[in-house]
């Protein structure tokens, strides 16, 4: 499968701050027939067009995102999250008296009990429209593909969208649109639009087909839209049924869903747009790009909440569950294997060498299920300086996921894995012999649930630092 390290995507769209608030519902209020939600931790994630952008970056490409936000605390949180993403650049136009779009999801167990949307939907002014377009015009020549991520929050006016499309066509840049409108006229002239089945039906509300299959209905409606709005392709996402690709003057293709298990479909459409764009930017056909996007979507729905899908996951997704888990996913998985002895270790694993391999093989001898907490690129830069890592996280994940003695990988961005350890509660924490037990993060906490720290023999002279020195010589 092709690498996307040279792929450069220019994205214009509605940025959203996704908030996930964990809590517990254990009783019904005596005041009214409503659940009582006991508040827990809040987690923030990039959503909307920003989720498209971070999936492009997770896939190995680079992305420049143009959007609007308010002059508020939520925009500051967004900026902080964006800075943690590798290869993501932004132009966020701050507009006075405008709210940064925020979706708050209240979750008990793995169930959403409430969602609160806080947003401004009115269209941006002509003045702000001009600023966005001029910035787009200055950048477009240097990018491979244009993505328009439309969540219908007021940024993408009819005039702006048409100007973006016309300019992209002038520079011969493919335009991928994720639509959220009842009418697709605004996207006239785009290369590809990617509605879900419901959105496709809404866009064809004046048409009526009652005696045909869903697949056939998608093809007929898609071809009508292609002709009506001068499109090249309509790619319809179909939830559990995969996706359908209808391209001008070509036979219709349907890809079956590759999801092994479905936890959450939110953000799956963003993942499709991201990997579709990556494929096209690398010179793949629309059909091959769609197959890639379908595979990535199958991984996305197996994660909780709005999530990134890494290229290494797609690369290794051959009818088996990916080894990369979020903390929440890991907690659910571990509930199914309570009888097994869970081992945990962590590290940067930058420039993987024989010392790493021997150490990991040894850890697996002491446990049934080995979890490796892997420092993210941003975490390594904090610990070791701006020149590290040598190998980026998607490369390290690709290598480590192919080690049979590793059962689960969890990427973390904190300077220490303490939060991760407290969440998964392993039976054993492993560290190399250059550590004392009292120096190991989590040594106090693991005693609370009856676990222990195990120090393994350190292989002297075998380290990433020594390897770098040898290379420099």
Name the E strands within 49-189.
62-70, 88-95, 102-108, 111-118, 145-149, 175-178
41 is a catalytic site residue = no
Q: Kindly report whether the peptide bond that precedes residue 389 is cis, defined as omega within 30 degrees of 0.
A: yes
Same-domain check for residues 302 and 371: no
- pLDDT tens, residue by residue, 384-398: 888 888 888 878 888
Domain hosting residue 234, numbered range:
8-315
- pLDDT tens, residue by residue, 160-180: 999 999 999 999 999 999 999
Does any domain span residue 16? yes
Task: Name the active-site residue from 18, 178, 264, 270.
Answer: 270
- pLDDT tens, residue by residue, 44-74: 999 999 999 999 998 999 999 999 999 999 9
The answer to whether residues 132 and 160 touch, using CB atoms and an 8 Å cutoff, is yes
338 class by beta-carbon count within 10 Å (0-12 exposed, 13-18 middle, 19+ buried): exposed
Same-domain check for residues 177 and 305: yes
Alpha carbons 54 and 306: distance in angstroms, whole number? 11
Same-domain check for residues 264 and 371: no
Helices 268-281 + 286-300 axis angle, to 10: 150
Residues paired with 81 in a beta bridge: none
**Residue 123 neighbours by CB under 8 Å, 6+ apart:** 154, 157
* Strand, coil or helix: 55: helix
Alpha carbons 373 and 110: distance in angstroms, whole number? 23
Same-domain check for residues 88 and 170: yes
More confident residue, 114 or 458: 114
Q: What is the CATH number of the domain that holds 447?
A: 3.40.50.620
Does any domain span residue 321? no
Write down the pTM of the prediction.
Answer: 0.70
Does any domain span residue 356? yes
Alpha carbons 307 and 75: distance in angstroms, whole number? 20
Name the E strands within 29-97.
35-48, 62-70, 88-95
Residue 109: left if φ>0, alpha if ψ -120 to 50, beta else—which one? Answer: left
Q: Is the pLDDT of residue 438 over 90?
A: no
Average pLDDT, the chain: 88
- pLDDT tens, residue by residue, 97-141: 999 999 999 988 778 899 999 999 999 999 999 999 999 999 999
Angle at alpha carbon of residue 360, lines to 359 and 363, rounded to 5°:
90
Give the total number of structural domains in the chain: 2
**Residue 365 neighbours by CB under 8 Å, 6+ apart:** none
Q: Is the pLDDT of residue 463 over 50?
A: yes
């Amino acid at each position: 499968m092709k690498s996307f390290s040279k792929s450069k995507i220019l994205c214009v769209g509605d940025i959203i701050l996704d908030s996930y608030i964990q809590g517990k519902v254990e009783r019904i209020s005596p005041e009214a027939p409503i659940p009582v939600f006991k508040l827990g931790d809040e987690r923030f994630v990039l959503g909307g067009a920003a989720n498209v952008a971070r999936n492009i970056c997770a896939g190995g490409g680079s992305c420049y995102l143009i959007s609007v936000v308010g002059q508020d605390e939520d925009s500051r949180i967004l900026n902080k999250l964006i800075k943690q993403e590798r290869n993501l650049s932004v132009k966020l136009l701050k507009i006075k008296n405008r709210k940064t779009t925020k979706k708050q999801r209240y979750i008990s167990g793995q169930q959403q009990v409430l969602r609160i949307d806080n947003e401004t939907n009115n269209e941006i002014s002509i003045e702000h429209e001009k600023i966005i377009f001029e910035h787009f015009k200055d950048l477009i020549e240097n990018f491979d593909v244009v993505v328009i991520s439309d969540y219908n929050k007021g940024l993408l006016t009819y005039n702006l969208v048409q100007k973006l499309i016309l300019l992209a066509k002038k520079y011969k840049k493919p335009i991928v649109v994720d639509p959220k409108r009842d009418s697709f006229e605004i996207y006239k002239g785009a290369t590809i639009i990617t509605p879900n089945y419901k959105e496709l039906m809404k866009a064809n509300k004046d048409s009526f087909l009652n005696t045909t299959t869903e697949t056939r209905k998608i093809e007929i409606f898609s071809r009508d839209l292609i002709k009506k709005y001068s499109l090249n392709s309509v790619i319809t996402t179909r939830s559990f049924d995969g996706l359908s690709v209808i391209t001008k003057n070509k036979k219709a293709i349907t890809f079956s869903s590759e999801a092994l298990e479905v936890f959450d479909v939110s953000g799956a459409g963003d993942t499709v747009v991201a990997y579709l764009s990556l494929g096209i930017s690398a010179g793949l056909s629309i059909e091959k790009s769609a197959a890639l996007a379908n595979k990535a979507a199958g991984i996305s729905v197996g994660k909780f909440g709005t999530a990134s899908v890494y290229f290494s996951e797609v690369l290794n997704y051959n009818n088996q569950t990916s080894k990369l888990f979020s903390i929440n996913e890991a907690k659910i998985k571990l509930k199914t294997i309570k009888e097994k002895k869970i081992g945990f270790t962590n590290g940067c694993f930058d420039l993987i060498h024989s010392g790493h391999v021997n150490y990991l093989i040894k850890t697996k001898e002491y446990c049934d299920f080995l979890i490796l907490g892997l420092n993210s690129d941003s975490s390594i830069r904090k610990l070791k300086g701006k020149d590290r890592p040598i190998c980026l996280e998607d490369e390290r994940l690709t290598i480590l996921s192919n080690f049979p003695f590793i059962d689960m990988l969890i990427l973390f961005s904190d300077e220490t894995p303490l939060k991760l350890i407290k969440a998964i509660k392993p039976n054993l924490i492993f560290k190399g012999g250059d550590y004392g037990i009292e120096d190991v993060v989590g040594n106090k906490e693991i005693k609370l649930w009856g676990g222990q720290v195990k120090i393994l023999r350190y292989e002297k002279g075998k380290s990433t630092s020594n390897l770098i020195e040898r290379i420099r010589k």
